[in-house]
Amino acid sequence: MIGGFFESIPAMILLTGFLTGASAAILGSFLVLRGNSMLTDAISHSIVFGIIVVWLLTRQISGPVQLLGAALTGLLTVVLTEALVRSRLVRMDAAIGLVFPALFAAGVLLISIHARDVHIDVQSVLLGEIGFVWLHTVDLAGHAVPVAVLTLSVVLVANLAFVLAFWKELKLASFDPGLAAALGFLPGVLHYALLTLTSVTAVAAFDAVGAILFIAFVIVPPATAYLLTRRLWLMVVLAVALALAACGAGYGLAVWWNVSIAGMMASMTGLWFALALVFAPQHGLAAQARRRRAQRLDHDARTLVAHLFTHEGTPEMAEENTLRALVGHLRWPEPRARAAILRAHDRALIERRAGLLVLRPKGRAEAAAIFEPQTGS
């Protein structure tokens, strides 16, 4: 049964996607929180340089040497970028944009000069070939396991172990690096450890999803989770769940439409993000619009009770405390006036009596509080 599982091509492709998504989302949560998202962009581009250099030196396209060697380039990118920033000659954004294109361009040139006959070609480096992961297998306990699955499993375990072991330190360093440094938790070391693991994950995943789509797996699910919750552990769990869901849905759609599998998986993370952006319960655009509308209505209702309170018991009351006065004197459009009356009525601030709008005790108290805030409760 297990053998059948490892021989099933769709299962292997999905498993590769799941492993990539989970490994990336675990680390990505912290990268997004720390504002290092674009370093991922830089790392995932410049490992191309590392991959080709390690290949030229060792003729190995996978395996631990390749993994670590290429990951060093990712780290080199970060170190170079931060050195540039520290020199204060260029700012962070420009520094990122200077280092990785140079390394990437060098990598692309090296590939086109030296590696024309091997299976590293520029387009697959960029886009990945998750559909072909099952071609490259290694024998493990009698089963032909795809190399990518094996590598990514190791990487996932490493990432998980790192995050669980340093959970407290990562949390502190993400939210308050100053305090973390003061307490002696070495946020700088943690920062480099996190980015090293990101580089390793990027190298392990580049075969499957390519350099650029990897960014989607690192940044988008955690950013989506960030819109949905304010708890760190829930954010990490949600990010992983969203990544897995994106892989599943993306695979199905890609097979159906006969398009790039990795591309479709990454696009699905984008779809989740768009949905969260609009419909997130607390901070989504829909919730924001609803809240703004409620605030506007409440404000109108307050204006209404203030207006009624001003004229209550005066000779003008018969004229002022009506819907017509709101439209005529306050210059409110009629729908707005009606909505305000309805709102105030719903909140038991006013009632209609003999064709007039009359304050109820709660409304009178609110109006009094508006005019004399200090005497109110």
Partner 1 sequence: MSALIDLLTSGIVQRVALGAALLGAIAGMLGAFAVLRRQSLLGDALAHAALPGVCLGFLIAGARDLGSILAGAFFTGALAALCMMLITRTTRLKTDAALGIVLSVFFAVGVVLLTHVQARGGAASAGLGSFLFGQAAAILPGDLWLMGGIGALALGLVLGLWKEMKLVSFDPDFARAQGWPVTAIEALMTVMVALAIVLGLQLVGVVLMVALLIAPAAAARQWTRSLGGMVAVSAAIGAASGLGGALVSAGTRGLATGPVVVLIASAVVLVSLMVAPGRGVLWQALAARRARARIGEARVLAAMQGLAQAHGDPAYATERGMLETALGGAPEPARLTALEKRGLIRPVTHAPETTPHWELTEAGHAEATRSEKGRAP
Residues that bind partner 1 (CB under 8 A): 32, 35-38, 40-41, 45, 84, 87, 89-91, 93-94, 96-98, 101-102, 104-106, 108-109, 112-113, 116, 122-123, 126-127, 212-213, 215-216, 218-220, 223, 226-227, 254, 257-260, 262-267, 269-270, 273, 277, 283, 285, 288
CB of 202 to partner 1, least distance (A): 13
Q: Return phi, psi of residue 39, to 5°.
A: -65, -30
Structure tokens at 42: 């830089």
Structure tokens at 340: 């305000």
- How many residues make up the chain in this entry? 377
Query: Please, which residue, 75 or 268, has the CB nearer to partner 1?
Result: 268
CB of 295 to partner 1, least distance (A): 16
Query: Please, which residue, 143 or 283, has the CB nearer to partner 1?
Result: 283
CB of 76 to partner 1, least distance (A): 15
CB of 280 to partner 1, least distance (A): 9
Query: Please, which residue, 91 or 119, has the CB nearer to partner 1?
Result: 91
CB of 271 to partner 1, least distance (A): 9
Query: Please, which residue, 121 or 319, has the CB nearer to partner 1?
Result: 121
Query: Please, which residue, 138 or 287, has the CB nearer to partner 1?
Result: 287
Query: Please, which residue, 71 or 96, has the CB nearer to partner 1?
Result: 96
Query: Please, which residue, 64 or 101, has the CB nearer to partner 1?
Result: 101
CB of 345 to partner 1, least distance (A): 32
Query: Please, which residue, 8 or 112, has the CB nearer to partner 1?
Result: 112
CB of 294 to partner 1, least distance (A): 17
CB contact at 8 A, 133 and 149: yes
- Please give, one letter per residue, the 3-state secondary structure of the chain: CHHHHHHCHHHHHHHHHHHHHHHHHHHHHHHHHHCCHHHHHHHHHHHHHHHHHHHHHHCCCCCHHHHHHHHHHHHHHHHHHHHHHHCCCCCHHHHHHHHHHHHHHHHHHHHHHHCCCCCCCHHHHHHCCHHHHHHCEEEECCEEEEHHHHHHHHHHHHHHHHHHHCHHHHHHHHHCHHHHHHCCCCHHHHHHHHHHHHHHHHHHHHHHHHHHHHHHHHHHHHHHHHHHCCCHHHHHHHHHHHHHHHHHHHHHHHHHHCCCHHHHHHHHHHHHHHHHHHHCCCCCHHHHHHHHHHHHHHHHHHHHHHHHHHHCCCCCHHHHCCHHHHHHCCCCCHHHHHHHHHHHHHCCCEEEECCEEEECHHHHHHHHHHHCCCCCC
Amino acid at 182: A
Query: Please, which residue, 127 or 154, has the CB nearer to partner 1?
Result: 127
Who's near 12: CB < 8 A, 6+ residues apart?
A: 6, 133, 134, 146, 149
CB of 215 to partner 1, least distance (A): 4
CB of 218 to partner 1, least distance (A): 8
